[in-house]
């Protein structure tokens, strides 16, 4: 059954049940768009849906493992059929597996790339096939500043983010002729559950801000962590008409942690 009586453009957000993905979903709803939230975390999806629809039907949700290409195609087809054309895609879904390279398990590497790289590929490919005939659209991938600098014990994560950064730029190059813009937002340390999982004590935030000579990690010149809403604001800008002449760009939102590189 078609349900296209909603207002606003259809915005597909992956990884929308928590952290940056949830903040992105909230930001688009507040901007008047209709958000389709997808995530493996069904309980988290229920929670964000209740919040987004608190003041009227502004969102829909689909449980989805982005690393399952068959499920991805089925969900994208259902969204387009029942809710309308996907005009904006935001790839946020991702996972972190840490450890020294010589101790990293095969499954840690494979699962990281399955979600962080293949998931972005599957969803973007499915959506872009539908955007091309319409000759319009915007795709934003949430990467990481870890894509541009080596990180101790983060080889799988950093490598996966470097891969999707270049993938998104190639996607943008191939589809510029179709008036489809593809950009990257690369957060630094952001106050999310993923960030907190790396802390060893209550001083974790302070340690991140100061940096670590032992792990060759710079601190944050702005002296604070990013909030998920900081990242969402950057995504909103790159997806908007205000960024109509920006494509293949990697926007760092890291408080200066990579010194502008």
Pairing of β 250-253 and β 34-39: unpaired
Residues 91-102: b if buried by 16+ CB within 10 A, e if exposed: bbbbbbbbeeee
Cβ pair 259, 218 in contact under 8 A = yes
The residues that are catalytic are 157
Smallest CA-to-CA distance from 219 within 228, 207, 235, 229 is with 207
């Amino acid at each position: 059954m078609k349900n296209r009586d909603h207002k606003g453009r259809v915005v597909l957000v992956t990884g929308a049940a928590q952290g940056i993905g949830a903040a992105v979903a909230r930001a688009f709803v507040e901007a008047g768009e209709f958000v389709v939230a997808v995530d493996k975390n069904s309980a988290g999806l229920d929670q964000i849906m209740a919040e987004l629809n608190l003041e009227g039907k502004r969102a829909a949700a689909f449980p989805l493992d982005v690393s399952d290409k068959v499920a991805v195609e089925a969900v994208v087809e259902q969204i387009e059929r029942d809710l309308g054309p996907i005009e904006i895609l935001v790839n946020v879904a991702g996972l972190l597996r840490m450890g020294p390279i010589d101790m990293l398990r095969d499954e840690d590497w494979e699962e990281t790339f399955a979600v962080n790289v293949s998931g972005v590929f599957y969803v973007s490919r499915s959506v872009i096939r539908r955007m091309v005939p319409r000759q319009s659209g915007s795709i934003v991938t949430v990467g990481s500043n870890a894509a541009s600098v080596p990180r101790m014990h983060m080889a799988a994560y950093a490598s996966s983010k470097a891969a999707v950064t270049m993938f998104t730029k190639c996607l943008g190059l191939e589809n510029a002729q179709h008036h489809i813009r593809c950009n990257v937002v690369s957060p630094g340390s952001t106050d999310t559950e993923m960030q907190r999982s790396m802390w060893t004590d209550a001083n974790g935030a302070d340690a991140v801000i100061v940096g670590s000579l032992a792990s060759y990690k710079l601190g944050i010149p702005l002296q604070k962590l990013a909030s998920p809403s900081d990242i969402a604001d950057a995504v909103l800008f790159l997806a908007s008409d205000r960024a109509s002449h920006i494509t293949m760009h990697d926007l760092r939102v890291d408080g200066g942690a990579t010194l502008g590189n």
